[in-house]
Amino acid sequence: MSTEKALHARSESKCELCGATEGLEVYAVPPTSTGGVDECVLICNSCSEQIENPDRVDVHHWRCLNDSMWSQVPAVQVMAWRMLARLSGEGWPQELLDMLYLDEETLAWAQATGEGENDESDVRHLDSNGALLEVGDTVTLIKD
């Protein structure tokens, strides 16, 4: 059985991340060694484009990860973890990341591409006490 046919059978011909049924394609989750069924996911064109082009990400499209992150398929868990890590600055993805449990091997695979690591050059906004400000925090400015 070909990889694509096996993925269609596993996912019931739906995107394994968002559930779309149109424009499905095989995506090999990097880094892969063989590109077998266990290292690939079946995703739609919209998910594929946003994974490949981080500047085109539609944050609301990825709310579907609330369901797909609980998949029993490690490749789907890895992709859900990576997208949640990429979007963690939005607030709600960080809450989902905090709930998601991955075994050590799957977590190592998810972190293998460097996704989710803090970049030293990222701008970090801190309050007067040094606490990190997050999206949705209320700030009061006082002029002396």
What is the DSSP-derived secondary structure letter of residue 132?
Answer: B
Q: Quote the pLDDT of residue 130.
A: 82
Kind and range of the H or E element at 40?
strand 40-44
Contact 71/38 with Cβ under 8 angstroms? no
Q: Quote the pLDDT of residue 84.
A: 92
For the chain, the domains span 3-111
Contact 113/105 with Cβ under 8 angstroms? no
Tokens of 28: 């090999």
Q: Quote the pLDDT of residue 78.
A: 94
Mean pLDDT, the chain cut into blocks of 10 residues (144 residues total) = 89 93 93 84 94 90 92 94 89 89 92 70 75 85 83
Neighbours of 26 (CB within 10 A): 17
Q: Quote the pLDDT of residue 118.
A: 56
Residues 106, 110, 111, 113: is their CA dihedral positive or negative?
A: positive
